[in-house]
Amino acid sequence: MDAIVVGGGIGGLAAAAFLQRQGVRTQVYEQAPALRPVGAGIVLAPNAVRLLRRLGLAEDLRRHALRVRTGWEFRRWEDGAVLLAQDMARCEQLYGEAAWLVHRADLLDTLLNAVDPKTVHLDHRCVGITQSPSRVEATFEGGARADADVLVAADGIHSGIRHQLVGRLPARDSGLCAWRALVPSERLPARYTAPTQTLWLGPGRHLVHYPVSAGRAVNVVAFTPAEAGATVESWSAQGEPGEFRAEFEGWDTQVGDLLAAVTEVGRWSVLDRPPIDRYGYERVALLGDAAHPMLPFFAQGAGQAVEDAAALATCLADAGGVPDALRAYSAVRVPRTARVQDASHGRATVNHLPDGPEQEARDGAFADQDPLRHSDWLYGYDAQAEARAAVRSGLVASATERATPLT
């Protein structure tokens, strides 16, 4: 079997790594002329880390990333009071893997180590695909073409391949905008570089910070009300540091000290899109943001793309052919990603409660919560095992259908 992967981001490189590990001859086509370090920090939870370990990338991850050791902290916006402190030492006991904090560029470099470098082709923008019963062909800007048994569309939230297959998904304004910044650690007190993910909750907005790049930088991401009519949706869109600081005026001095060190900040609108009911289309599989663009409030965008990649490669290896494999892939991934999307929607509402009875009830409930235990459905999930089960179910159903005479 041979495969084309369109897109050289996290999902595309993970797909290539898993496919090549299964013996599938795989070529990656990325539209950018270079793999630049776009974006900033990523939280890798156990559901993604166990899959990266199976690719042999555990040591690479250890060199670049920070294991979350001291925990997750939820803090109150006004005075820094700790609402919840989760001991992450139990994470490995419960799920067999730790959570890691990593820069997106470092994760891309790690994934590249698992992909044959001769199979990655830059400066190839896909402008269309065509399918026949036995092959699928991609056409690139400038006239270049490539064909294979299966094509993986990992071309992001603005996927042209998804547009061609299912039309443009109507983007709904979430009413929020995102801010993202990286601050060199030397500009900050040492407490900001502790391997902790800290989440500040306040009326209408929240802010998260944690160290990345082996502690050399601190990632800052925040969500605030968006300006009416704002629709720029791009990681490369820029904001003003002064406006960023103004959004959190009056918050605890620890937030103020952190934002005072910000010299450059990205800012973009957070748009929401309805889910689609399948990710496989004959010989084309949608993957990552091309399949299920997510609100970013559950820190699972990268994790779900890695799960997609592992599940797709497993389905293609175990099923009787590409159409059966992609039916199994849809069957296992659509409900999984829909559940994560739904959880992300709920988190935005809970995080942004105004001060008052609901907020007080939320804060009081933290004392009785054990997020690690409650996250079993998320962190204990094995994408490859679930994919194998989906293939077995799908092949049994297909065999039954073929054996049933028409009446």
Residue 121 lies in a domain: yes
Annotated catalytic residue within 29, 210, 329, 381:
210
Report yes or no on 14 lying in a domain: yes
What CA–CA distance (Å, rounded) separates 12 from 4?
Answer: 10
Residue 201 lies in a domain: no
29 is catalytic: no
- b/e burial code for range 275-310 (CB count within 10 A of at least 16 → b): ebebbbbebbbbbbbbbbbbbbbbbbbbbbbbbbbb
* Residues forming beta bridges with residue 129, ordered by sequence position: 138
Tell me the pTM.
0.93
CATH label of the domain that carries residue 312: 3.50.50.60
- Residue 320: CB atoms within 10 Å: 12
151 in any annotated domain: yes
What is the number of domains present in the chain?
Answer: 1
- Asked if residue 235 is part of any domain, the answer here is no
- pLDDT tens, N- to C-terminus, the chain (407 residues): 999 999 999 999 999 999 999 999 999 999 999 877 666 899 999 999 999 999 999 999 999 899 997 778 999 999 999 999 888 888 999 999 999 999 999 999 999 999 999 999 999 999 999 999 999 999 999 999 999 999 999 999 999 999 999 988 888 888 899 999 999 999 999 999 999 999 999 999 999 999 999 999 999 999 999 875 455 555 557 889 999 999 999 999 999 999 999 999 999 888 888 889 999 999 999 999 999 998 888 889 999 999 999 999 999 999 989 999 999 999 999 999 999 998 888 788 899 999 999 999 999 988 778 878 888 999 999 999 999 999 998 754 543 333 333 22
Residue 160 lies in a domain: yes
In a domain, 388, yes or no: yes
Token output for 402: 């073929």
The neighbouring-strand residues paired with 239 are: 265
Host domain of residue 153 = 2-68+100-169+274-351+381-400
